[in-house]
Chains A and B, each alone.
Chain A
Amino acid sequence: MSEQLRRHTFSVLVDNEAGVLARVIGLFSSRGYNIESLTVAAIDEVANISRITVVASGTEMVIEQIKHQLGRLVPVHKVTDLTMEGPFLARELALVKVAGTGDKRVEALRVADIFRARAVDTSKNSFVFEISGTTEKIDAFIQLMKDLGLVELSRTGVVAISRGAATT
């Protein structure tokens, strides 16, 4: 039995109703599973469906449990373990506030350009950058910004979708 920890991304289609997020979060806390990121938003106003994207880590047995435990919640329509099912895209968005003047300010702008981050707010001594991409890319950007005056950070967490024409 492999006790190695792995990280999986799940896509969960749920009824967009009161309490559904509490059910999902309650499941993770009551069973002691680790959530690394969780995002939720309505995706179908007519059918009243929301998509929850969860990144969770655990042993192989725990990952399998997470899928089945999510699947047996009554308002859950479908659970897809994107990591298991094949290639998928995962992106998140971050707003990164960097304060400073002089060389650091110029360098911050240059690094942002390399990462294709956009300055969405500017003052004399600060920028707010908007950056989207993989978690790793955003981590790398933040790492660099730490030395260039990073003062505040807001991240969305991961949203994900499978590649190709097939739907989940």
Chain B
Amino acid sequence: MSTDQMTGAEIILKALADQGVEVVFGYPGGAVLPIYDAFFKQNAIRHILVRQEGGAVHAAEGYARSTGKPGVVLVTSGPGATNAVTGLTDALMDSIPVVCLTGQVATHLIGNDAFQECDTVGITRPCTKHNYLVKDINDLARVIHEAFYVATSGRPGPVVVDLPKDIQLGSGTYVPPKAGKHKSYRPQVKGDIGKIREAVELLVNAKRPLFYSGGGVINSGPNASKLLIDFVKMTGFPITSTLLGLGAYPASDRQFLGMLGMHGTYEANLAMHGCDVMVAVGSRFDDRITGRLDAFAPNSKKIHIDIDPSSINKNVRVDVPIVGDVAHVLEDMIKLWRADTRRPRKEAIDAWWQQIDQWRARDCLRYKASNDIIKPQYALERLYAAIKGRDDAYITTEVGQHQMWAAQFLKFEKPNRWMTSGGLGTMGYGLPAAMGVQVAHPDALVIDVAGEASILMNIQEMSTLAQYRLPVKTFILNNRYMGMVRQWQELLHGGRYSESYMDSLPDFVKLAEAFGAVGLRASKPSEVDDLIKEMIKVKKPVIADIAVDQAENCFPMVPSGAAHNEMILGDEVGEPKARVTDAGLALV
């Protein structure tokens, strides 16, 4: 036997180290014991012991989104793998690079219904970008390197590597990562220059142009954000963003119209409805963005930049499809725009801005302030006032009303500061994701904006925060309801609040204390500022329980099945049911 023979478990850790992995989020079990044994004997890679495998995947997602590096997960076979499924699906929907190593029963037991056996590759096939079952130790190192390549290149996503126990225990040869092309998976990064030229042709002739950027800009990296800012400034055109794209373009800039879509701003949605040339940059025309498809931006020519050809013409037919990486395409587009002497007619663009400013003046996020009861919007305004200007503030959210309010009221100036479950809409995402962010940025201010319902879905991770002294702040907008469910029941189901009231909630202050964290509570508007100040000051994990208005709804809202110009605004809610068609009611 040659001297470079290693055990499978050693090969796995060596491969992770060579891939630059610094931290793994995991949970041990029978089928991964050899890997944990190898962990015990090394110091290069840190292991964060979560309290449930679902938390490990969300933590890896938070780590990935806030660093741009892949997040790594290690779980055992059977229930370890099945608990990871929600997180994997979440990462697939939001294009987050995650490598998830799962233990598996020994190869000779596969298919025998062994203890803690499940068909991990079968179960995770539809919820991963790709997955592997390693059956030969001589493939092990190559497969792990390939998993990182697949997870991080093209449109990023989760990759599972299923590792039978006998492979971990066996001995084989390690091979280092190999540069060079993958034999079959080679996503196109450079855009077709002819198409980019067509796009520039549309832009120089535009009268009512609009940029519509998405998570793809953030996935493409900081340079893509920089190029986007450059190009938007250069053109003077307005820009809106999807939920996942927030931060790619600075929210405080005058050309930014806020988020669009179901709970987007009045100006962003009407600009989308009225534009004549749209540039979709790393965004995928999700149904939460488009509303009713046949009335979506009806009079526009559409340019779509996306690295995934299957995102193009999936929901909306576009006129100029450009397959490629956002940064590469924008770079070429800027060159062509600069080389072109023509510019859009100034009067037309000025008139478009006048129109947009009129919509803006509608002040669509206005809400009825109160001296007695805390409005959720008020709590977030005060939170924003406290963190504004801080480069090291990272926000995660759970899913629901609080998430949409956070997207509306917190302004992001830079990419990778905003982590939210957009595509899958996973309640319970925010706390473990914040944990992953805090692991990556130990000195940063990491806040999970939460609802009292969502937070209970992964509350066990408070224990992980305590163990690793991760000072994550959980900012609960507590309305004692699954707020978004309640809102839909009010608007669409005759106010029949079926099972959406959160009865028997824990005392969150005592709960925090039980987990060795600090609990804070505010129930009057006058207490909010002090709470936020204290929350930020404390160097420990905090649960801040803010009792907010139970009846507050999140507006503007484009009801399901409606078009952007049919949105409901907060101060004009009359008989909204009349606006929802039967077909719309069937949509989620």
Q: Which residues of A are interface residues toward B (Cβ below 8 A)?
A: 1, 15, 18-19, 22-23, 26, 30, 61, 64-65, 68-69, 71-77
B125 touches A23 (CB 8 A): yes
Chain B's closest residue to A14 (CB) is B184
A74 touches B185 (CB 8 A): yes
Q: Known contacts A72-B308, A72-B310; is A26 also within 8 Å of B133 by CB? A: no
A19 touches B121 (CB 8 A): yes
B20 contacts the other chain (CB 8 A): no
Q: Known contacts A26-B125, A30-B126; is A74 also within 8 Å of B150 by CB? A: yes
Chain A residues with CB under 8 Å of B312's CB are: 68
Q: List 16 A-B contacts (CB under 8 A).
A: A15-B184, A19-B125, A22-B122, A26-B125, A26-B126, A61-B317, A65-B314, A68-B309, A68-B310, A72-B154, A72-B308, A72-B310, A74-B130, A74-B184, A74-B185, A77-B184
B183 contacts the other chain (CB 8 A): yes
A71 touches B150 (CB 8 A): no
Chain A residues with CB under 8 Å of B223's CB are: none
Distance of A144 from chain B, by nearest CB (Å): 42
Chain A residues with CB under 8 Å of B154's CB are: 72
- What separation, in Å, do the CA atoms of A15 and B146 have in the docked complex? 15
B126 touches A71 (CB 8 A): no
Chain B residues with CB under 8 Å of A65's CB are: 310, 313-314
Chain B's closest residue to A19 (CB) is B121
Which of A1, A15, A26, A72 has its CB near the most chain B CB atoms (within 10 A)?
A: A72
Chain B residues with CB under 8 Å of A77's CB are: 183-184
Chain B residues with CB under 8 Å of A19's CB are: 121, 125, 133
A72 touches B317 (CB 8 A): no
Q: Known contacts A18-B133, A30-B126, A72-B308; is A61 also within 8 Å of B313 by CB? A: yes
- What separation, in Å, do the CA atoms of A122 and B430 have in the docked complex? 70
- What separation, in Å, do the CA atoms of A61 and B313 have in the docked complex? 7
Distance of B304 from chain A, by nearest CB (Å): 13
- What separation, in Å, do the CA atoms of A114 and B184 have in the docked complex? 45
Chain B residues with CB under 8 Å of A75's CB are: 184
B125 touches A1 (CB 8 A): no
Chain A's closest residue to B131 (CB) is A19
Distance of B315 from chain A, by nearest CB (Å): 9
- What separation, in Å, do the CA atoms of A73 and B310 have in the docked complex? 11
B122 touches A74 (CB 8 A): no
- What separation, in Å, do the CA atoms of A68 and B304 have in the docked complex? 15
B129 contacts the other chain (CB 8 A): yes
Chain A residues with CB under 8 Å of B313's CB are: 61, 64-65
Known contacts A72-B154, A74-B184, A74-B185; 6 further A-B pairs (Cβ under 8 A): A15-B184, A26-B125, A68-B308, A69-B310, A76-B184, A77-B183
Chain A residues with CB under 8 Å of B150's CB are: 74
Interface residues of B in 120-138 (CB under 8 A from A): 121-122, 125-126, 129-130, 133
Chain B residues with CB under 8 Å of A72's CB are: 154-155, 308-310
